[in-house]
Amino acid sequence: MSVVDDLLDRGVVVSREGRFRLDGALAGLPTPGTLERLLEQEIEHVDPDDRELLELASIAGMEFSAAALATDSGPRLAQIEERCEALARRGRFLVARGASDWPDGTMASRFAFRHALHRDAFESRIGPGRRRRLHVQIGLRKERAFEGHELQVAAELAHHFERSEDASRAVRYLTLAGEEAARRFANGEAATLLRRGLELLQRIAPSAERDVQELMLRLPLNVPLAAVDGYGAPELERNLLRIRELTGSFGEADLFFPVLLGLWSLNLVRADMLQAGEIGTRLLAAAERSGDALSRLQGHRAYGHVRFYRGFPEESCALIESGLAGYDLSEPLRLDYSAGDDPVVLSFAYLSWALWFQGLPRRAVERVEQAVERGRGLRHPPSHAIALAFRAIVQLLRRDAPAARLAARELEAVARDEGMALWLALVQIVDGWALQYEVPPREALEALDRGIAAWRQTGSGLGLPYWLCLRVEILAASGEVRDGFSTLRDVERLIGATGQEIFEAERHRAEGLLRSLAEPRDRQAVGHPFRAAIGVAREMGALSIELRAALSWAEFERRETGRLGDASRVLLRGLLERLPEGGEDPDPRAAARLLASTSGALVS
């Protein structure tokens, strides 16, 4: 029995969460120094050839193939297997772990150290120079064996070459390992590997080749950074700007397009519509020149997103539909490292918003469900999450609180698994808004404020004016006029600074709600922001928002005077007649009930 086995049996060494340590609660037990001496004494009694073999094995890893220990100048593979098997049979240091097949045709037995303490003890006996040579030996052996299949052992090769101080080789394999982790959506692992590659890159002298290595590390880093920290993350911005610097001489070449797309995403999520619009026009032009269907889809939908936020939902729809028209929707997912979400999912998602604003809620729901179905089918969590996020917001726009919260629950499950801070913040926002229908306004407001604060922390300004308008509505419901006007000033500042004019009509409507509480007898003062909201919405072609503003004005009028004026009646009736899809949503139903209640008509 080995020393470690004996110590484990006696409780001197305990295993907790995969790690071994002394149990200090027991009195009179060996100290760490004593344990080291016991292990050293046991190792000294090992046959010298076996001891040398186990030292080499400790460099190969906790678990290893006997083939990794075989070299041209050392023992043959058969001899190594025999000696390892003999050690395993005697229960000394090793256990058998079956067999392994390598791509070069090598078949060999696998073994593992019985305890991490054993491996550490053998490795500690190796001096720095010899340790470096052994890492080189094992790294080169596996590199040859896995030629053409390096991805299978990329992380292991990176480890050996880093320890052997071959920074260039280590960077190459860290890049491969990081890319593979990103493809598995293991975002934390991918970011760690790629960041380590960038650190090692500092050991390589500047050259054109080094710049290419840096670019190959930075491109796949964008996706995990965006997924974990959000598209507004400072590290993502630094990474993208460095990529742009590295690709500055490429012009509008193929590699430049995904970089430009990544910079566009960054500016969009940060709600810099001026920059996003400028980059969007370049993307659109580059896409048209390329003639490539995927590039056309990306260019059209990117510029279409910007036009939506600038207050042109119909133009946004036309651009996005144009990009989709030339793209084969049966194509498998193809990711650009700079913007990893599926462009078809994003296209369907933004179409749903633009359609709802135009007064087409049924088509909006159909489109967002297409986005969700595709996102789920792709098995790509970021794309699935963004589709679920847009579904939750579409239901919020429709004022269907139960459906919005249901969508938020599904989004929360995906976002929490993947550590998506932006979408977890949205879950809080949706929950806070929906709570106003179940609890006192103050409780709902506290929940909404937590979500808005979390959204801000991601660095995203996108949608923020609308989230604040939701806040004003809840403040108005609780009669907190002063706080409401203070929030409105933030909304006005944000719209002016970011260019998110799509929310301008809602800002005016929110002001009307506050003025109806602050000065209800001054119908002129109350009516002015409501009329402004109606006018802005009409100019944008945002029929749903126009109806909502007209309904808010009519409800105030009915509340204060007990009746609807002729102008309000004509306006509401005209808007309901213009709705292309009828009146199934809460706002049209409320408008129809209001008209009927003031005319004596019966409403089911």
Mean pLDDT score, 255-262: 74
Distance CA 514, CA 526 (A): 8
CB atoms within 10 A of CB 12: 18
Distance CA 194, CA 220 (A): 8
Q: Are 455 and 425 in contact (CB under 8 A)?
A: yes
- Please report which helix (H) or strand (E) contains residue 213, including its range: helix 208-229
Q: Are 272 and 242 in contact (CB under 8 A)?
A: no
Mean pLDDT score, 185-190: 84
pLDDT digits (tens, 9 = 90+) for 515-553: 999 998 888 899 999 999 999 999 999 999 999 999 999
Q: Are 50 and 84 in contact (CB under 8 A)?
A: no
The pLDDT > 90 percentage for the chain reads: 64
Say if residue 577 is exposed, middle or buried (CB neighbours under 10 Å; 0-12, 13-18, 19+).
exposed
For residue 24, what pLDDT is reported?
Answer: 45
Nearest to 316 by CA among 267, 268, 384, 376: 268
For residue 572, what pLDDT is reported?
Answer: 95
Nearest to 500 by CA among 534, 463, 535, 530: 463
Residues 6+ apart with CB under 8 A from 32: 22
Res. 337: pLDDT tops 50? no
For residue 25, what pLDDT is reported?
Answer: 45
Could you tell me the pTM of the whole model? 0.73
For residue 30, what pLDDT is reported?
Answer: 47
Higher pLDDT, 15 or 29: 15
In the chain, the amino acid numbered 332 is: P
Q: What rounded mean pLDDT belongs to the chain?
A: 88
For residue 4, what pLDDT is reported?
Answer: 54
Query: Where in the chain are the domains?
Result: 1-33, 46-132, 149-246
Distance CA 123, CA 119 (A): 6
Distance CA 197, CA 200 (A): 5
Distance CA 562, CA 338 (A): 58
Distance CA 223, CA 226 (A): 5
For residue 1, what pLDDT is reported?
Answer: 44
For residue 2, what pLDDT is reported?
Answer: 52
For residue 381, what pLDDT is reported?
Answer: 86
Burial 539-560 (b: 16+ CB within 10 A, else e): ebbbbbbbbbbbbbbbbbbbee
Phi, psi values for residue 92, rounded to 5°: -105, 105
Distance CA 8, CA 38 (A): 14
Q: Are 240 and 266 in contact (CB under 8 A)?
A: yes
Cite the beta strand spans of 102-232 per DSSP E: 107-113
Distance CA 449, CA 447 (A): 5
Q: Are 486 and 472 in contact (CB under 8 A)?
A: no
**Tokens representing residue 73 in the block:** 């100048």
For residue 186, what pLDDT is reported?
Answer: 81
For residue 414, what pLDDT is reported?
Answer: 94
For residue 347, what pLDDT is reported?
Answer: 96
Q: CA torsion 287→288→292→295, rounded to 10°?
A: 20
- Please report which helix (H) or strand (E) contains residue 447, including its range: helix 441-457
User: Alpha-carbon torsion 40, 46, 49, 55, what sign?
Assistant: negative
Q: Does domain 46-132 have CATH number 3.40.50?
A: no
**Tokens representing residue 406 in the block:** 């249901």
CA 457 to chain centre: 15
For residue 27, what pLDDT is reported?
Answer: 39
Give, as one character, the DSSP assignment of residue 46: S
